[in-house]
Structure 1
Amino acid sequence: MSTPSPTARTLPWLPGVVACAVAAAVAWGVHWLVPVVPWLTAAVVLGIVVGQLPVARPAVAGRLAPGLSLSAKRLMRIGVVLLGLKLSLGDIAGLGWVAILTTVGVVLLSFAGTFWIGRLMRLPGHQPLLIATGFSICGASAIGAMSGVVKPKDEEAATPVALVTLCGTLAIFVLPLFWHPLGLDARQFGHWVGAGVHDVGQVVATAQLAGARALAVAVVVKLTRVLMLAPVVAVAAVVERRRHVAGDPGVKRPPIVPLFVAGFLLAVLVRTFVPLPSLVTDGADTLQTVLLAMALFGLGTAVRLRTLVGTGWRALVTGLVSWLLIALLALAAVWVSAVA
């Protein structure tokens, strides 16, 4: 039997983190070659594929496991904090109060509806909560943020990530088919995409088909949804804290507001009130995307398609129904804003 190297003994997470970095680079290459495929989506899919390969499973479950876990959790939280630097409260205010209220309404109604559907389908553990968070707010990034509070098992978080990736990717190709039949102009289509598509990269890939105006509206509406990540996760943290108190007062309780959520809010305030040079904002955006790509690859490797196909049909139904629900709610929000 070979003896582990000193590096492997002192930095057991290093091989897995390096693997995630390489995978993020490969995912970027896929996005560069096929721009319609968002970088983060490619990273998740690559992780899922690697997780299914028999030749890779021993490494995924063994030597690479510490680094994959660290990437999926800690790097995800750092990426969520940096995501706040994309948000300016001034840009959101520019949407108008009707658009803001309807966007918040879409998030709350889709979250509650998806959570109820997940409970109705008897999904295990925290899956209803994670699916509701990912579908209603900002995809896999939101699932990672919520996972930082409720501490689900790796496979429990992997299924929602796979579902939100599947449905978000479908949206890139399906929503444009209804653009003209629904009688939407470019701005309205961008609003619909921003309010109804899950991940920021998927929003960009979908809305850009209708031009720069649609893309600008879609991104601002989407980032308004992203802002809802902080209160939703904070409420979940309070509920989880009370559950710990009720179950066993001696158990360490999670903080009322997780540190990374506070960091996310601070980043939003910095972007709003501090004039940052483009070099800083562009660099933070790139770093945030790299970290999230690494984290999503790590999460993707925990997906087991055989298990998902065999026992996850209820989760698939939940995801598809939620996808339809959010698309309809977002379309209603567009029509309400147009009338107002």
Structure 2
Amino acid sequence: MTQTLHRAGKSGRGDRPDPRAVVPGLLICGAVALAATGITMLLPAVSPLLLAIVIGAVVANVVRLPAAAAPGLTLASKTLLRIGVALLGLQLVLGDVLGLGFGMILVVVAIVVGGIVGGLLIGRALGIPFARRLLIACGMSICGAAAVAAVDGVVEADDEDTATAVGTVVIFGTLMIPAIPLLSHAMGLSDEVAGLWAGGSIHEVAQVVAAGGMIGGGALTVAVVVKLARVMMLAPVVTVLSIRQRRATGVAGKRPPIVPLFVVGFVACAILRSTGVLPSAVISVGHEAQVVLLTIAMAALGLGVRMEVMRRVGWRPFVQAALTTVLVAGVALGGVLLAG
């Protein structure tokens, strides 16, 4: 199947790929992204990225996609996603993150490192293959589906691993949106502490925004800043994994770069935003471009989710995701209370 799709992306002129081969897949992704964006106009609290994953998954399991769509889906889920992740750096202002204080920054590091290490150990105990449990652990610990796709770019994971990890992010991240506000209220946490907890424990940026809005008060602002601090951890985590992959593949294997180009772009965008030299119009355009690219990329990831794959991988990945979600939330709550 892979060889057939590969040949479909070639032109008759040697081995040079035909740019037209990506058009069908990109059109399908664009249609899904457009539908997701249209729904968010009616329901502003819903993330277009998450909707794109869900709509894409529904389409993929209701309609048989043509083989000609494969090159475009690959371009969207890899190249466009990496560009979108790089532009995500424009959302980061390093001064805001540093303003959390040294103690809270340590908590963010503990959340990400503890979530990844703990998630890997949980996955190993459940007998889950390394690449799959790594994608799930990173998705729960850093920034959801974007982290899954970024890590997928530097480790040897297959489509089944990626689809499983993205599916778990959508399920458990969505469950966290009402869970954190309800638990915060039950425990009598202040709005600020609840916001810090939401930012430290919920998977996707959009999910954090939704939960922060439900909490109210000043929760939304601190929740987003903490979440963006977790997003910043994407760069060192991917770099470490890339170095590990280089060592694992050896001299003869295909070795990824020490620092992937999209990570360099992510850091560069964050630094540029933090210097204050970028006009607000440029930041605004960059933000819109990032949302569009990531929505299209999420549509491609959703189109790769098949129910038969979910059934085939079994219950273990979902148990790992659930336990890792609880672990991340527990570390985040303990750290927030200690730092506060």
TM beyond 0.5: yes
What aligned pairs does 1:68-147 form with structure 2 within 5 A after superposition?
68-147=73-152
CA apart distance, 1:125: 4.7
TM-score when normalising by structure 1: 0.92
Question: Residue by residue, what CA displacement relative to the aligned partner does 1:81-116 show, whole Å, maximum 9, x if unpaired?
Answer: 000111111111111111111111111111110111
| Aligned equivalents of 1:9, 1:286: Cα separation in 2 | 29
Residue among 270, 276, 279 paired with 1:277: 279
Tell me the residue number matched to 2:43. 34
1:98 & 1:201 partners in 2: Cα distance? 25
Contact in 2 for aligned 1:154/1:299 (Cα 8 Å) = no
Query: Aligned partners of 2:19, 2:176: CA distance in 1, in Å?
Result: 44
Give the Cα–Cα distance (whole angstroms) in 2 for the partners of residues 304 and 277 of structure 1: 43
- Residue deviations 1:230-278, cap 9 Å, x none? 0000000000000111xxx222311111111111111111111142222
Distance 2:71 2:21 in 1: 6
How far apart are 1:179 and its partner, in Å? Answer: 1.9
Specify the alignment match of 2:202 in structure 1: 197
The number of residue pairs the alignment matches comes to: 326
1:177 aligns with 2:182: yes
Write the distance in 2 (CA, Å) between the matches of 1:42 and 1:151. 27
Cα distance, 1:216 vs. partner? 0.6
Deviations 1:194-241 (A, max 9, x none): 000011011101101223511110011000001100000000000000
Q: Within 2, Cα distance between the matches of 1:126 and 1:281?
A: 35
Equivalent position of 1:160 in the other structure = 165
Alpha-carbon contact 1:45-1:300 (below 8 Å) kept: yes
Q: CA deviation at 1:28?
A: 1.2
Counterparts in 2 of 1:323 and 1:10: CA distance versus 1, 3 Å: closer
Alpha-carbon RMSD across the aligned residues, in angstroms, is 1.6
- What letter is aligned with 1:214? A
> What is the match of residue 230 of structure 1?
235
Question: In the TM superposition, what is the alpha-carbon distance from 1:329 to its structure 2 partner?
Answer: 1.2
The 3-state SS of whatever aligns with 2:68 is coil
Amino-acid identity (%): 44
Partner of 1:150: 155
Q: Report the Cα distance in structure 2 between the residues aligned to 1:265 and 1:188, rounded to whole angstroms.
A: 28
> Match of 1:11?
20
Q: Write the letter of the residue equivalent to 1:158.
A: A
Matches within 5 A, 1:277-316: 277-316=279-318
Residue in structure 1 matching 2:268, options 260, 266, 269 = 266
Report the equivalent of 1:21: 30
Letter in 2 for 1:292: L
Moved more, 284-293 or 26-35: 26-35
Residue 65 (structure 1) aligned with residue 70 (structure 2): yes
Aligned equivalents of 1:75 and 1:307: distance in 2? 24
| Deviation by residue 1:167-195 (Cα, 9 ceiling, x = unmatched) | 11111122221121111111111100000
**1:186 aligned onto 2:188:** no
Q: Is the 8 A contact 2:173 2:202 kept in 1?
A: yes
Q: Distance in 2 between matches of 1:9 and 1:274?
A: 41
Contact 2:160 2:309 survives alignment (8 Å)? no
Aligned-partner Cα distance in 2 for 1:320–1:198 = 12
Give structure 1 regions of 4+ aligned residues with deviation exceeding 4 angstroms: none
Distance in 2, matches of 1:310 and 1:77, equals 29
SS at match of 2:182: helix
How far apart, in 2, do the equivalents of 1:102 and 1:251 lie?
A: 37
1:218 matched to 2:220? The reply is no
CA distance in 2, matches of 1:312, 1:241: 31
Does the 8 Å contact 2:115/2:137 carry over to 1? yes
Q: For the Cα contact (< 8 Å) 2:78–2:297, is it kept in 1?
A: yes
Unmatched segments (≥5 aa) in structure 2: 1-7, 12-16
Quote how far apart the aligned CAs of 1:43 are.
Answer: 0.7
Residues 209-218 or 87-96, more deviating: 209-218
Q: Give the distance between the partners of 1:252 and 1:113, measured in 2 at CA.
A: 29
Partner of 2:322: 320
Shift of 1:310: 4.3
